Amino acid sequence: MTDRGWYDDSEYHEAAQRAERAARFGWTAIAGTAGVLGCALITLVALVVVAVMAGLYVVVAMDY
């Protein structure tokens, strides 16, 4: 028999802690990626709005 007792579940607790750390890292990575994509989308929309406004300015300026 092994030296550990019948009810020794330390390996289970270690595995549960590793799984919890991995899940936390995963959610952090997902949140970071979503944040970066959100910022990129906002920047893209702002650039499109500026381009449309510049185009409208050029069209209006050509009439004068």
Residue by residue, DSSP assigns 6-48 as: TT--HHHHHHHHHHHHHHHHHHHHHHHHHHHHHHHHHHHHHHH
> 1 versus 24: which is more confidently predicted?
24
Q: What is the pTM of this model?
A: 0.66
User: Which two structure tokens, joined as six digits, stand for 28?
Assistant: 């952090």
User: Which tokens hold the place of 41?
Assistant: 């989308």
- pLDDT tens readout for residues 15-64: 999 999 999 999 999 999 999 999 999 999 999 999 999 999 999 998 77
